[in-house]
Structure formats: C-alpha cells, structure tokens
Structure 1
Amino acid sequence: MKKIILVVATALLSMTGFAQEKAIKQYGFWDNWFLQGQVGVSHTFSENFKRTDLTNLLSPHVAVSAGKYFSPEMGARLQVGGWDAKSFNPAINGTYKINYIQASVDGLLNLTNLFTTYTEDRFFNLTGIVGVGVLHGFKNEDHDVRVTNSVVPRVGLQADFRLNQDISLNIEGIGNLMNDDFNGVVGGTKYDATLNVLAGITYRFNKQGFERVDIIDPAQIQSLNDQINAQRSQLRDKDRDIQKYQSEISRLAAQPVVVEEVRGETEVLMNAVVVFRLGSAKLEQNQDINIYNAAKYLRENPKVNITVTGYADKATGTPAINQRLSEQRAQAVADILINKYGIASGRINVQASGDREQPFEINEWNRVVVFTANN
C-alpha cells in the first residue's frame, strides 16, 4: 500500500511541480523540411518603365524552393527561379526581353507565430522574407544586351493557407534589386528591379510542426529525486521491520497453548494467532500450522468452545474499512476450522474488533486473528 501511495505522490508532484511555462520541443536536422513550387508574373522597373503601360512589362516567372523551419518563427529556404523580364525601348517604341536565372537564399520569419501563440494546425500564416541572391542575365544581341551578373538583395511577404498536415497553398510578393545594367541600359536609374507575384503549393514532410512541452527546472528534478530516494529508504526500513515482526509473531504462534484460571472458570488463552498481510484477508500458507494447532486443541477438549476474533492495525485504513477487514479475517479462519478440520460451527464464535482494540503494542502485529477458548 505504501509503495502505491509513493507512486501516486510522485505523479502528483510531477503534475503540480512542473505545471509551468511551455517551450518548443527540440527537433533534429531532418525535421520540418518543405518543398515549394510557384508560378506567376514579374514586373521590371528600369529606365523608361513609366513610358508604357504596366501590363506591357509583365512577364512569366517560375520558382522552385526547398527549405526548413528551425522553430515556429524562423526558417530558411534555397530558391531557384527566373524566366524573362521585359524592358521598354523608346527607339522601337516597344518592349524587349532579358532571359535570366536566379538562385537565392532567403530567411523566413513567420509573423503570425511571432506575435501570437503558436498553433500547429492554424489555417493562415503570414511570413516575411529577407534574402540575397545571385542573378545571371543572358545575352540578347538584338537589343545590345550583354551577359550580366548581379548580387540581388530581396524582400517580400508570403501568405500561406493550410489545407492539411502536409499541403498548403501560398501567395507571395517579393521585390529584387539588380545592377543598373541588367536590361542593357546604364543610366537614368541607379538600379534595376523586379517585383514577382507568385502563387504555388507547399509540401511539408518528415515530422512537420512543433510540439509544445513543459519547461522543467533541473533543480526541481533533483529535489523530486531526493524526495523519492528518501521515501524509498523509509520503505526499506519499514520492510525490514515488518519482516522482523512477522518472524517474532510466527515464533510466538508456534509455542504450546497456555491455560489460565480466571474467576474459577477455565479460560484458555491460545497464543496461536493467524497473521495477515496489510489490507488482506487472504490466508497465507505459512499460517496453516496455527489453525491446525487450534483445531487439534478443540478435538482434544470437546467441551471447550472457541472465540475467533479478527483485528486490523489502526495506522492504516479507516475505521469502517478496518471493521470489515477484521470480520473477513475472522470468518476466513472459522471457515477453515469448519470445512477443513470438521469443527462444529456451534463451537465457534466469530467476532471482529476492527481497529477499536489493539492487542499488541507493535502496530503491524495487529493484522491478526486471535483464538480464545472457554469451557
């Protein structure tokens, strides 16, 4: 029973002592990766872009990305994208194309998780993008555009709409700043730039999402371990005491029956007792000899009747539980005398004292049934 109480107490201490602030569980390198595929349009801002309609400078753009989130707020991706860009040439009063390819490394900041409590299955997330890329522009001899290479800073926003655990849709707007010679014309503006508006699909794989766990103070763990170790030490001491008491009871129980004269009548106090385990009314096999001695005495003294009295120790249980337990113990002993040894039920008086009386000074010894015989 005390061991069960120890386990329950440990669980309660764990729940109450560590009901603290939440933290995000640590994940491995291969967790929380994703793939993205996007397609959309790009608008080029360069010399003379205001001299034509906006739609004349729209061109297709595609991008493929692979990335990872290190926490609910922070992530990164590697993106490869491109197609062509359009610039306006007043000399021909029309547009021309510059084909290009761009590789970028972007930092991702989930603004929704940054400013609100993280929820793994949230439908909408808004993410800020800051990155840098390398752009390679291809030659266009028809419009005197030479090969160009640019280091491209970029910034943008992405709206993500979760469909299920693995897949979501995204809409992204991102601006890119290139060298002034990107479109083959130098002058008029200090830089050329593109604005990409893309839509795509994100696929998350390999343990996506983050689990919130309790923050546990190592000092509290040590304190709890110290308490558990102290309780275990006390239990070991109790177990040794119980074994010692049981051995002493068994030794006393094996002694011959003592007969005393009381008020002119013969009252036989039988120091053979039946010992029970804590909280149990089940007869242990090593107690058979004590019941046998009582039965033997009754056969040899047919004019003697016997009172079988059950007890329970006062230190455990409640009075109601101990009363019922003492009744069960006394009845169990009476049943063996009647059914196994053939003692007439009329010669056996069954009584139970619960924990109201404690025949022994040592608490553990009171988990017994005591025989008292009278003429």
Structure 2
Amino acid sequence: MKQRVFLALMMPFLFIKGFAQEVNSTVPSETSEDENTAYWVSPETNNERVLNPNKFRDNWFITVNAGTFLNWCDNTSDAKGKQFQPAAGLSVGKWLSPWGGFRVMGMWGRGFGQTYKPVLDRTYNWNVVNGYIDAMFNLHNLFGGYKENRFFQVMAIAGIGVEHMFGFSDESWYKNYNVNTEKNNLLGFRTGLLASFRLHRALALNVEASVNCLDDSYDGVTSDHKWDGHVNLLVGLVYRFKNHDGTHQFTFTRRNQDKYDALNAEVNRLRKEVAEMKAAPAVEVKREVVESERVSTLVSFDPNSTEVNKLQEVNIYTAAEGLKKIQDGDLYITPIKNNEMSSDLFNGRANAIRDMLVNEYQVPAGHIFIEENNELVRSLDPAKNCVIIYIVK
C-alpha cells in the first residue's frame, strides 16, 4: 500500500515540463516586461515566448522557516489550543521549469498529546525531527502562464518523508496509561499550499499551510484512529541563488535590436551609394580586390517539410564551425532564390536551422539573422566577415 501511495505522489513529476530550453539570449534581463521589447517566439507553440536555457546550476533556492505545529492526535480536541507547538525548518530545492520543481526539507517541532479526560486529564510533549522530499507545482504559472516578475504566486505541495519521535517529557504515569515513550520512526505523507510574495529579484516571503499524515502511534498511543499527524503553519524567507547568466529566475529570450539596427544601417548605406552612382557622371572604373572571411553553405529539405534531413546536418555543422573562426561574425539564413517557397514554409525551415545551431552547436542567437529577401543578404558589404546559409527548395 505504501509503495502505491509513493508512486502516486511521484507521478506528477512525469508531467512537469522539462528544463526550459530553446534559444540562447545575449541580453538576459530581469527588468519589467515592456510591450515594446522584442522577444523570440516559437512557431511550434503558437508564437509563445521562448525561455532561455536552464542549466543544472540554475534556479536553486534555500528557505528558512519558522512557525507552529498544530498537532492532531487522540483526544487533542480537548486541549484548548495547547496543541499549537513551536516548529522550524530548512529546505533546499530547484525549479525544473516555471511550472514545477522539488525541494528537500528538514524540520524540528514539538509534538503534543492529551490523555482521555474522563480518566486522566494530563498533557505531554515530545520532539519531532523529520525529512521530506516534496514536489512543488506553481499553480499561477501552470494555469495563467509564466510572468517574470509576478509578485504573488500560489503553489501546491505533495511529498513523502520520514519522522523521528523522541524525548518524551518525563512523566511517571505513562506506563499506567499505555503511552509508548520509546523512540519511533514513521513514514509520513504531506500535502498543502504555499503562497509566495516576491520581495526582491533574489528574495521572497513564503506562507505555507500543509498537513503531515502519520501512523496512529505518532503520540505514543495506539487507538482505533487510522491517522495522527500535524498541520504545519510556517513563514519562510527564500533566497534564490544566481543563475549562470546572472539572473535569479527563468527569463524570456530577448532579441538583440542592435544587430538589426546595424543591418538596416548597412542597407541604407548601400541604397545611398546606388543613388549617388546613378546621379554621378561617368567615371573611370578601377577594380579592387576585397578579401573577407565568408562561408556559404546550402541546406535542402524534403518537399513541404520543415524538419532538417539527417544528410543536411553536416552543412549546418559546417556553418557553425565557420562562424566560430570569425571574430564577432554574424550568420544569415536566406533562400537561394526569392519566392521559391511560401513565407510560412521558409520561416519554419529557417527556425529549424536556427534551433539546431543554438541548441546543438551553441551559436549565440543574437548573431543569427533570418532574412526572407535574399537580395538584402547578397548586397552586404563584400568586406564583411559572415556565414550565409542558403535554403534550397
């Protein structure tokens, strides 16, 4: 039975979206979202914004908790508030995605027991130390979509762990009333809700209410009850460690607008030169050899397909290796001829090449440009060092 419950608690991990990964950004940011900010979007997910890669060292956090145990055991309904006992905890965890993660949490608290009043009106205490592994689900992000700077969030918790009971208060009457004061270890199950308030990019305040369900022997007394346990009412301070890119959370991939501005400036310069040449009188033409580092490669696809053919991966690899040899170079993806394919088909193929360059060959997304009009790419300054991938119909 316990194995089945454990498997049921762990099953939600199968549905947590994996480590956030798509396109790398050269401009990670935690500033407030601006409607004018240009983000990378994915055609495969209805043009949703793309998250920056999440490495193993990213999105870890540590939480210090303090609060109370509300013990619920045999006869504690007659305790008149005495069942509230101090508690403290420490947890370390990681968000695997904006929607889900896990934590390992250890706690100390005081247990509380109450005898059956018609026979004997006595209370007693003991120490509780436990350790749990909890699955955490961010309900706001799961159902409302991820926002980088959301102030208030609600999370669901489900976990399994072990609780150790010891140090019962020294009472002479225990043996006459069948109270077992020996050290005891029990398997526990936990579920609850957690509200988190963002204080700073690296700090948050948590308010947690969860219930730990234990065997009936939790209070040292075994009766006809099936469950004993305690409700945890905790306040915690959370610190989120710094990620590899300097942020403290998941971030969306921004476009580097400076690259587009440079390309537009280049196009305007060429247009100005053409206009000046047309207006200028005939002059003697002198030929000049211009040397530049430039790599060109062709990539073809199956008819009406946007999936990269295995035989074409070597051409994408050639382009990636060529870009690595060019200092601060750019890579352009363009059709070999204009109007050979629809815009949707071209963009789907270009995005497939871009994703392979970023995810498999670590090419910075800010150096990749997709241009449907190949005349703009062909008109680049001959001295410009770059890599060009031509998509063949």
> Quick one: which of 200, 214, 231 aligns to 1:178?
214
**Which residue pairs with 1:40 in the alignment?**
67
SS of 2:82's partner is helix
Q: Distance in 1 between matches of 2:138 and 2:121?
A: 44
Determine the structure 2 residue equivalent to 1:210.
Answer: 250
Cα contact 1:77–1:105 (8 A) shared by 2: yes
2:115 equivalent to 1:75? no
Distance in 2 (CA, whole Å) between partners of 1:16 and 1:52 is 58
Q: Is the 8 A contact 1:103 1:133 kept in 2?
A: yes
Whether the 8 Å CA contact 2:198–2:204 is kept in 1: the answer is: yes
Match of 1:326 among 267, 281, 301: 281
Structure 1 residue 178, shift from structure 2 partner: 0.9
More strand by share: 1
For 1:325 and 1:182, the matched residues in 2 are separated by 96
Partner amino acid, structure 1, of 2:61: F
1:52 is aligned to 2:79: yes
Choose from 114, 135, 141 the match for 1:107. 135
SS at match of 1:196: strand
The Cα shift of 1:119 comes to 1.1
Letter of the 2:73 partner, please give it. S
Secondary structure (helix, strand or coil) at the match of 2:50 reads strand
Give the CA deviation at 1:325. 2.3
Percentage of pairs with the same residue: 29
| Higher fraction of helix | 1
**Residue 229 (structure 2) aligns with:** 193
1:128 corresponding residue in structure 2: 156
Quote the Cα distance in structure 2 between the aligned partners of 1:172 and 1:110. 13
Q: Per-residue CA shift, 1:213-252, capped at 9, x if unaligned?
A: 49xxxxxxxxxxxxxxxxxxxxxxxxxxxxxxxxxxxxxx
Task: State the partner residue of 1:162.
Answer: 198
Matched, 1:96 2:124: yes
Tell me how far apart the structure 2 counterparts of residues 88 and 16 of structure 1 sit (CA, whole Å): 60
The amino acid of 1:96's aligned partner reads Y
Rate the CA distance shift 1:139–1:119 in 2: closer, same or farther, 3 A.
same
Distance in structure 1 (CA, Å) of the matches to 2:82 and 2:212: 19
Q: State the TM-score, normalized to the length of structure 1.
A: 0.53
Taking the TM superposition and a 5 Å limit, the aligned residue runs for 1:139-158 are 139-140=167-168, 142=171, 143=174, 144=179, 145-158=181-194
CA distance in 1, matches of 2:231, 2:90: 17
* Distance verdict in 2 for CA 1:279–1:78, change over 3 Å: closer
What whole-Å deviation, never above 9, does each CA across 1:304-335 have from its counterpart, x for those lacking one?
Answer: xxxxxxxxxxxx945xx4453228x59xxxxx
Instruction: For 1:88 and 1:58, locate their aligned partners in 2 and report how far apart those are by CA, in whole Å.
Output: 12
| Divergent runs of 4+, >4 A | 15-19
Aligned counterparts of 2:136 and 2:188: Cα–Cα separation in 1: 17
Question: Which residue of 2 is the match for residue 28 of structure 1?
Answer: 55
Contact preservation (8 Å) 1:57, 1:95: no
- Deviation at 1:32? 0.5
- Give the count of matched residue pairs: 215
Q: What is the TM-score with the length of structure 2 in the denominator?
A: 0.51
Q: Which amino acid aligns with 1:113?
A: N
Residue 157 of structure 1, CA deviation:
0.7
Q: Which amino acid aligns with 1:46?
A: C
AA matched with 2:213: L
Q: Mind listing any 5+ residue stretches in structure 1 that lack a counterpart?
A: 1-14, 215-277, 281-315, 331-375
Consecutive unaligned residues of structure 2, counting only runs of 5 or more, are 1-39, 255-269, 285-393
In the TM superposition, residue 83 of structure 1 has moved relative to its aligned partner by 2.0
Q: CA deviation at 1:17?
A: 9.9
Q: Report the secondary structure of 1:24's partner residue.
A: coil
Structure 1 residue 51, shift from structure 2 partner:
2.1
**SS of residue paired to 2:250:** coil
Residue identity opposite 1:190 in structure 2? K
**How many Å apart are 1:125 and its aligned residue?**
1.0
Q: Residue deviations 1:44-87, cap 9 Å, x none?
A: 1111122231x111100101000000100111000110221111
Q: What residue identity is the alignment partner of 1:94?
A: R
The equivalent residue for 1:222 is none
Give, in angstroms, the shift of residue 279 of structure 1.
Answer: 8.7
Shift of residue 200, structure 1, vs aligned partner? 1.3
CA contact (8 A) 1:179 1:191 kept: yes
Amino acid at match of 1:72: P
Aligned partners of 2:41 and 2:98: how far apart in 1?
Answer: 27
Displacement after TM superposition at 1:139 (Å): 4.4
Aligned residues of 1:279 and 1:325 also touching (Cα < 8 A): no
* Cα shift readout 1:252-274 (whole Å, capped 9, x = no counterpart): xxxxxxxxxxxxxxxxxxxxxxx
Secondary structure of residue in 2 paired with 1:212: coil
- Check 1:317–1:109 CA distance in 2 against 1; reply closer, same or farther (3 A cut): same
Contact 2:42/2:50 (CA < 8 Å) preserved in 1? Answer: no
Asked whether the equivalents of residues 166 and 184 of structure 2 are also in contact (C-alpha less than 8 Å), the reply is yes
Displacement of 1:92 = 4.0
